[in-house]
Amino acid sequence: MTKKYFGTDGIRGPVGQGSITPEFILKLGWATGKVFEELGHCKIVIGKDTRISGYMFESALEAGLVAAGADVQLLGPMPTPGIAYLTRTLRANAGIVISASHNPHYDNGIKFFSSEGKKLADDIEYAIEKKMDEPLVVVESSSLGKASRVEDAAGRYIEFCKSTIPPMMDLSGLKMVVDCAHGSTYHIAPFVFEELGAEVIKIGVEPNGININEACGATSPAALTEAVLSNAADFGVALDGDGDRLIMVDHLGEVLDGDEILYILAKTRLDKGYLGTSVVGTQMTNLGVEHALNRLGVNLLRSAVGDRHVIKLMSESNSILGGEGSGHIICADRTTTGDGIISALQVLETMARESKSLHELKEDIQKYPQCMINVKLSGGMKFVVTDEITAAVTKIEATLGESGRVLLRPSGTEPLVRVMVEGEDLAIVEALALDLSQTVESILNA
């Protein structure tokens, strides 16, 4: 079955267009409330990031849920993983996140968590979509839901983050930069690290509704690099607008993406004896990371791109660790979803345990150059792997051997095919990627 509204991670788009309108979100709140009310009287928590449209959609969701008879608890600005945590601890039936994650302020979206703090099951999403086709009918006045605000939401989540590392771990003597992307961690992340003893230099902590993710945070680490170097900090941490991504910078200003962080955390868990035999990455996880894990005796399992797919494969393979190069790291031994703050704390625990700098921890990894070229498809054309494309890919794979990879991946949102070639030599990789992209374009758009 194809979903009408839900994508791989909720519903997202430009504010005021398509599904991202007050009318639609109010109806979505009502439909969600009705679905969960059919299972018994329910409680739903709502949190949001700092983009200006969050106020509008928070009110719309609240009205729709209450009209369906559901009680609502408002968390205010709260990281996505914090909402997952509070959904569980407040014993709510579901959690709703108003956020477009790393997107600019003019986008927004709605994501859902189950009562366990995990992605909402497909059957529930289908049920909500089916309910959207029914007329909105308000319950009897005596059965309307009630709304309240959780005043200590930030404090609860800060304490949870701190609980994921050893109780005696002390960050005193460390100077770090924390970039909160003017997003939902602005009033949380700096305090987590300060309360553990670190000297924290804060950037990206002045949200105004429209500056979220703007030239800062995990998607733009240049600001973090500059702050680390100018302040002679030991390292830096960059989160995205909703706090589920982590990018780090070492004292030399070198950026560590999610692939390198995944390796560091995998090695630590292996040394402690509880990693298991596999770690989950995606189709885009760097081949150098896979080879580094293999040298440790650990298999890299590759899912489709997207943290939902990573979490699904982790569950199927009983893996406790997974992640993406973008910075989504899922530590299933600590929490239920990608969490930038908790992932950073796990890296800091490794630094303390091994008495090594962040730069030293990544020295075992030699990432391979990747070249990706987007091939535009002409109107209405769909990506089909022809015999000619297969032959071209096979030829390049033979050239690269075990030291390279080829990946053709259609975009889920645009009429594009992403052509990626990876290998040890950048010049060769770029030449092969260009040649393959031209072949794909000539065949598909003939």
Return the active site residues. Answer: 101
The alpha carbon torsion through 174, 240, 323, 335 (nearest 10 deg) reads 70
Among residues 140, 255, 243, which one has the least CA distance to residue 182? 243
Structure tokens at 183: 């997003």
CA-to-CA distance for 130 and 133, rounded, in angstroms?
A: 6
Rounded Cα distance, 155 and 124, in Å = 31
Q: How far apart are CA 313 and CA 302, in angstroms?
A: 8
**What is d(CA 11, CA 61) in angstroms, rounded to the nearest whole number?**
14
What gap in Å lies between CA 375 and CA 435, rounded to an integer?
A: 12
CB neighbour list of residue 351: distance below 8 Å, 6 or more residues apart: 357, 358, 361
The number of beta carbons lying within 10 Å of the beta carbon of residue 191 is 18
DSSP 328: B
Q: How far apart are CA 227 and CA 115, in angstroms?
A: 39
How far is CA 128 from its chain centroid? Answer: 23
Phi-psi group of 359: left, alpha or beta (phi > 0 → left; psi -120 to 50 → alpha; rest → beta): alpha
- For residue 137, the Cα-to-chain-centroid distance in whole angstroms is 35
Q: How far is CA 249 from CA 201, 231, 393, in A?
A: 14, 13, 35
Q: 154: how many CB neighbours lie within 10 A of its CB? A: 20
- Strands 199-203, 416-423: pairing is unpaired
Residue 252 and residue 318 in contact, taking contact as beta carbons nearer than 8 Å:
no
CB 100 within 8 A of CB 12: yes
Helix (H) or strand (E) holding 395: helix 387-400
